[in-house]
Structure 1
Amino acid sequence: MENSSAEILRDYDLILKIMSWLPIKSLMRFRCVSKTWNLLIFNPDLAKLHLKRSSINPQILLLFKKIEERQCFSAVLHSLLCLIQNPAPCSMLSCPNPYKYIFGSCNGLLSLHYSLSTNECEKHLVCFLNPATKTCSLPSPSLCLNYGIGVQYDINFGFGYDDKRNSYKVVAIVLDSSTQQTNVWVYCMGDVCWRLTLMTSPAFLTIDSNGYSLNATVNWLGRSSKESKLQIFSYDLENDTCRCLLVPELVPKNSEFTSMGVLNGCLCLSFDQGRTVFVVLALKEVRDETSWNRLVSVSYETLNISPYYDYLRTLCMWDDLLLLTYSQLWDDYDIIIIFNLKENKVERTQVYSKHSLSHIFSCHYIPSLI
């Protein structure tokens, strides 16, 4: 065994390269071979190399969220190819108790939330789960929001990676109704407390509750409490600053289903025009509000969608295929449309599964050893 360990250490770089191509399930079995193998598999160098390989074939995490609640009550993982070829229900992703709300995915880690209310305050805790390695972090310190006369809070979370400091961060934007102010709290993985980094006024009212992570920023769609125009509240994880990005004027004020997401490495905004055309705009550079361009503009007639749908939104893109989801007002199941952008036609429409009174959200997921 000593000779074997010495050989492994001698050929360290080569072994790491070979192991970086292996699926995580296999690596989790190999860690039982010896202490040396276990150290290799949980080596940060292998984790970074494996993440780089896995990024070529990302998966998608589908979240089913109740319409009247912000808590995500179920989630499933798919490979993009599997979802496109056969978007059938698969096994649910279970979260450790008491966490029930998944609000982000980054480099193979899922961020989970749990809250507890008392007469004096409400406490919010987060943790991090790696579904591939089946490991979960300890709970974070609690973010405690004290109640007072006429005080109500609206809190939204986002999760991202600060590559400048090699740090995973949770960002909470907290609207205090009594002061009409938005406070930004940040928790860095491993810290002993949350940090209050910003206090902004007027308050920012979110439309999409989850923050979308991209290029060391976390972004929410919404409006300032003093303006009716749509804006994107963008928090920079590297320097703890925020800015409000303007949304192009062509986005109608009366659009019922304006939503945000990330497609092909771009922050995207989707909306309908008069219940006749579905439009997706892409922000090529998240720190440059002049870099908007039109990614998709397709009629309901082409999509074969009735104007009486509910919550049409994008899920993901794979090459020239765009996946959309919606439900009819009179049905209790979700419908996935696979639309070919190059040929401007619907390739397939399928019922996904029954999740009564729910909406589908999605985020990219990359299996990793992080």
Structure 2
Amino acid sequence: MQGLIKTRIELPEMLVLEILSKLHVKSLTRLRCVCKTWSSSFETPHFNTKHHQNNLKNNNLNLLLKRCHGYTRDNIHYFSQLSIEKDQNFRVKYNIHLPFFENFVHAPLVHGPCNGILCLTDLSCFGHNVALWNPSTREFKILPQSTVQRPHRLLDFSSFNFLGFGYDSQTDDFKCIRFVTNYFEENLDEWLMADWTSQVELYSLKRDSWKEILFPGVDAFASILFNNYVNGFIYCQAVAVDHHILSFDMVNEKFSTSPLPEFGGSLEQYYLELLHFNGLLGAIFYPREGTDKSFDLWVMNGSWTKQFSVESVLGVERPLGFWKNGELFLESSDYELVLFDPSVQELRNLGIHAYKETMHITAYVESLVPLNGRSEHEEYIIRRPAEG
């Protein structure tokens, strides 16, 4: 009998990259050392896009929970990475601290995710610290301070209202937008009626700089619970225009307004949160008072339609975010993380506590998008296993 002849099969490079694009970021990081071709391929926009699309298609979500255990400057806000395996009941895998934001009460405020990237900001309106973070590649980038010219008057301070973070598909660029209110010294004794002017600033990751853009003449504020970036637009609630939404086009860098759904109530009685829901703009309404809550979800697809209503969930305070099959993460009246399944009307306690109204949950897909920043290290991010 003749000996077996071993044959080496060479797979086409495109097929190899197609297979690799289905792997987790952690595996791809290890494979960078296999060969230079693979390492350089993992950095191309084409591979990054393919990898991200595969994660979206397979609904490969990861969970980060921001929380705190008190309401003083000494009680630090931090992230908990939650397990997503079915048998693990969303247990805490890692706790992640960000020393860069530890001097600010409530910081960081989370915007996004957008293509797997989070934008973190100082919640204090007098601060202007902004950073981008890719929790998959563990890259962290502190944004430069704005060089936008302020009015030529005796300026006392400027406050910052951060509106959102999104992606410009035409230029393959990530952008941040914020309102800046400039207060002047002459009316400090009555600051509520102080003389002020407004500006709008836009940051570009490609340019790594801020610029001033045309002010729309309408103040707005963004959701603090949900991602308000949807398909190239940032959406937020207009302050001066009742029952309207202010939107910002990431490509054309222009504002426009549109009406809210006629949900049958008033914003004095109901909270409004704008969110990304299955690729469309959603609006969720829930009562301001009481712990026996109902939740109405409306979706914009040419016109507003009510997607569903959740009636009378007892013992909860507010919604935090949706999970894979329409389940809703909620903060209970005991300030615990719970998961509500509307299909069976079941409320499940996940055993995770936090101080009231400090929880923020982020569901994101993995991304290889580079930030041209720094790798995580203890100056900016401290990641520890939950057991420690």
Same fold per superposition (TM over 0.5): yes
1:220 aligns with 2:236: yes
What amino acid is the match of 2:140?
Answer: C
Match of 2:120 in 1: 112
Q: Deviations over 1:310-337 (max 9, x none)?
A: 3x11411423x32131231xx3x32313
Q: Give 1:268 shift.
A: 2.2
1:129 aligns with 2:133: yes
Q: Deviations over 1:129-168 (max 9, x none)?
A: 222222233x332126869567552421411111122111
1:63 aligns with 2:66: yes
| Structure 1 contact 115–125 (Cα < 8 Å) conserved | no
Q: Give 1:210 shift.
A: 7.5
What amino acid is the match of 1:339?
Answer: D
What amino acid is the match of 1:173?
Answer: F
Distance in 2 between residues matched to 1:210 and 1:155, nearest whole Å:
16
| Structure 2 contact 128–160 (Cα < 8 Å) conserved | no
CA RMSD, Structure 1 to Structure 2 (Å): 3.6
Distance in 1 between residues matched to 2:238 and 2:72, nearest whole Å:
18
Distance in 2 between residues matched to 1:357 and 1:116, nearest whole Å:
18
Distance in 2 between residues matched to 1:59 and 1:360, nearest whole Å:
16
Match of 1:4 in 2: none
Cα distance change, pair 37–297 in 1 and its aligned pair in 2 (3 A) = closer
Match of residue 161, structure 1, among 150, 157, 167: 167
Task: Report which of the two structures shows the higher radius of gyration computed on alpha carbons.
Answer: 2
What amino acid is the match of 2:177?
Answer: V
Match of 2:254 in 1: 241
Distance in 2 between residues matched to 1:236 and 1:69, nearest whole Å:
38
2:328 alignment partner, SS class? strand
Match of 1:16 in 2: 17
Q: Deviations over 1:68-113 (max 9, x none)?
A: 799992223446665x971333312344735852332211222233
Flag structure 1 segments of 5+ consecutive residues without an equivalent: 1-6
1:37 alignment partner, SS class? helix
2:48 alignment partner, SS class? helix
Distance in 2 between residues matched to 1:255 and 1:92, nearest whole Å:
36
Distance in 2 between residues matched to 1:216 and 1:340, nearest whole Å:
30
Distance in 2 between residues matched to 1:40 and 1:60, nearest whole Å:
27
Q: Give 1:196 shift.
A: 1.1
Distance in 2 between residues matched to 1:218 and 1:67, nearest whole Å:
31
Distance in 2 between residues matched to 1:68 and 1:180, nearest whole Å:
31
2:93 alignment partner, SS class? coil
Q: Give 1:188 shift.
A: 0.9
Matches for 1:310-329 after TM superposition, within 5 Å: 310=317, 312-319=318-325, 321-328=326-333
2:30 alignment partner, SS class? helix
What amino acid is the match of 2:116?
Answer: G
Matches for 1:209-358 after TM superposition, within 5 Å: 212-224=228-240, 227=241, 229-249=242-262, 250-273=264-287, 275=290, 278-285=294-301, 288=302, 291-300=303-312, 303=313, 305-306=314-315, 309-310=316-317, 312-319=318-325, 321-328=326-333, 331=334, 333-341=335-343, 345-358=344-357
**Higher normalized contact order (CA 8 Å, seq sep 6+, divided by chain length):** 2
Distance in 2 between residues matched to 1:266 and 1:200, nearest whole Å:
24
Cα distance change, pair 318–159 in 1 and its aligned pair in 2 (3 A) = same
2:327 alignment partner, SS class? strand
Structure 1, 259-268 or 72-81: larger mean CA deviation: 72-81
Distance in 2 between residues matched to 1:72 and 1:191, nearest whole Å:
33
Distance in 1 between residues matched to 2:226 and 2:195, nearest whole Å:
23
Number of positions where the alignment pairs a residue of Structure 1 with one of Structure 2: 337
Q: Give 1:209 shift.
A: 8.2
Distance in 1 between residues matched to 2:70 and 2:181, nearest whole Å:
21
Distance in 2 between residues matched to 1:350 and 1:313, nearest whole Å:
14
1:87 aligns with 2:83: no
What amino acid is the match of 1:359?
Answer: T
Flag structure 2 segments of 5+ consecutive residues without an equivalent: 1-8, 184-193, 370-388
TM-score (norm 1): 0.77
Cα distance change, pair 247–157 in 1 and its aligned pair in 2 (3 A) = closer
Q: Deviations over 1:269-317 (max 9, x none)?
A: 22235756523233334xx5xx2111222221xx2x14xx53x114114
Match of 2:383 in 1: none
| Structure 1 contact 61–75 (Cα < 8 Å) conserved | yes
Cα distance change, pair 96–68 in 1 and its aligned pair in 2 (3 A) = closer
